[in-house]
Amino acid sequence: MLASGKTPAGTHRPIMVEEILAALKPRPGDFVVDCTLGYGGHARELLARIQPGGHLLGLDADPHELPKTERRLREAGYPPETFTAHSGNFAGLTGYLAAFRIGAASDSAVPALADCLLADLGVSSMQIDDPARGFSVKLDGPLDMRMNPTRGISAQGLLRRTTPAALEEILADHADEPRSRDLARALAGGDFPTTKALALAIRSASPRLSGPESELTVRRVFQALRIAVNDEFSALEMFLRQLPLCLNPGARAAILSFHSGEDRRVKKSFEAGLRGGLYDEISPEVLRCGPQERHENPRASSAKLRWVRRAGA
């Protein structure tokens, strides 16, 4: 199944693992922050490399998947002394680190700073594969799309309340949708209780598109809505501003992004940090996965990896 390019349902394949390990250079004793724990695939690789003495703090905004991942990593042999799972949005990273104390240092008033930090943006395969989460263009389910279903409004709620002008901006800005105006007019204010209902409405709003073009349009609209529902660009910008404050001198951070809006923000922030002396090294160019990984895991083909090193070592 893995070799044929499919990811077993309910799991997630970590992307560009070798490249991430080469960028982060985890060592025994390191304190690692995985800002997007997901299924725990990257975390597991990092945990194996920071023992003995290391600790990994895994954050995730998704309170539904997090306990399952925590259980899996405990069963894989990582007790609370080596691994902490925390439910939260990386937009508030400095707050979590200020409150976090590791083992013997638990009395210390000094916030824990990371030696390695990873953010693997977007959604996991488990989230997409679960129809009840409403992310999937293929599976029918309630039109939700919230990574944390206890916060904010669902995609159904957003579409119901939005205006054509606001939706046009979301579609153009979050997914480079070329037909954003027509689609926004057709969809804004509508009530689409399910993913299928929305996909049907998108297809009927673009009757002249060929089958594949129409499916691409459906994907772009879903992507744009997901980004808007979860306020993903604001969270990323807040995280990027805090990042230098969360790293020890000489620490390394890597970010895996999946579309141009994310990568543009990461690149701009890393370059500004290098110019401003916050970072003393950044990846000279964006890194992409190799042909074998692209073949084995189609989701990896859009991944873009960038890394930085905190100045002051």
Binding map of ligand SAM across residues 155-174, x = CB under 6 A, - = no contact: --------------------
Minimal distance, residue 85 CB to ligand SAM, in Å: 12
Q: Which residue is nearest to ligand SAM (CB)?
A: 38
HSE, CB side, 13 Å, CA atoms: give it for residue 145: 29
β-partners of residue 83 are 56
Minimal distance, residue 174 CB to ligand SAM, in Å: 14
The answer to the question of residue 235 lying near ligand SAM (CB under 6 A) is yes
SS3 101: coil
Give the dihedral sign, CA 158/164/168/169: negative
C-alpha to C-alpha distance for 78 and 285, rounded to whole angstroms? 35
Write the CB contacts of 97 (distance below 8 Å, at least 6 apart in sequence): 33, 57, 111, 112, 113, 114, 246
C-alpha to C-alpha distance for 90 and 57, rounded to whole angstroms? 12
Stretch of residues binding ligand SAM (CB under 6 A), selected from 36-44, 96-104, 137-145, 284-292: 36-44
**Residue selected from 62, 115, 129, 262 as contacting ligand SAM according to rule CB under 6 A:** 62
**Residue selected from 33, 59, 112, 155 as contacting ligand SAM according to rule CB under 6 A:** 59
**Residue selected from 24, 56, 147, 287 as contacting ligand SAM according to rule CB under 6 A:** 147
* Binding to ligand SAM in span 71-90, by CB under 6 A: 89-90
**Residue selected from 7, 19, 36, 310 as contacting ligand SAM according to rule CB under 6 A:** 36
* Binding to ligand SAM in span 122-141, by CB under 6 A: 122-124
Residue 167 burial (CB < 10 Å; 0-12/13-18/19+)? buried
> Taking a C-beta distance cutoff of 8 angstroms, is the pair 56, 35 a contact?
no
> Taking a C-beta distance cutoff of 8 angstroms, is the pair 287, 2 a contact?
no
Stretch of residues binding ligand SAM (CB under 6 A), selected from 117-125, 134-142, 151-159, 204-212: 117-125
C-alpha to C-alpha distance for 274 and 304, rounded to whole angstroms? 19
**Residue selected from 42, 146, 306, 310 as contacting ligand SAM according to rule CB under 6 A:** 42
- Which has the closest alpha carbon to 121: 60, 174, 41, 46? 60
**Residue selected from 41, 58, 134, 261 as contacting ligand SAM according to rule CB under 6 A:** 41
Q: Would you say 56 or 59 has its CB closer to ligand SAM? A: 59
Give the binding site for ligand SAM (CB under 6 A): 12, 14, 35-36, 38-42, 59-62, 65, 89-91, 120, 122-124, 147, 235
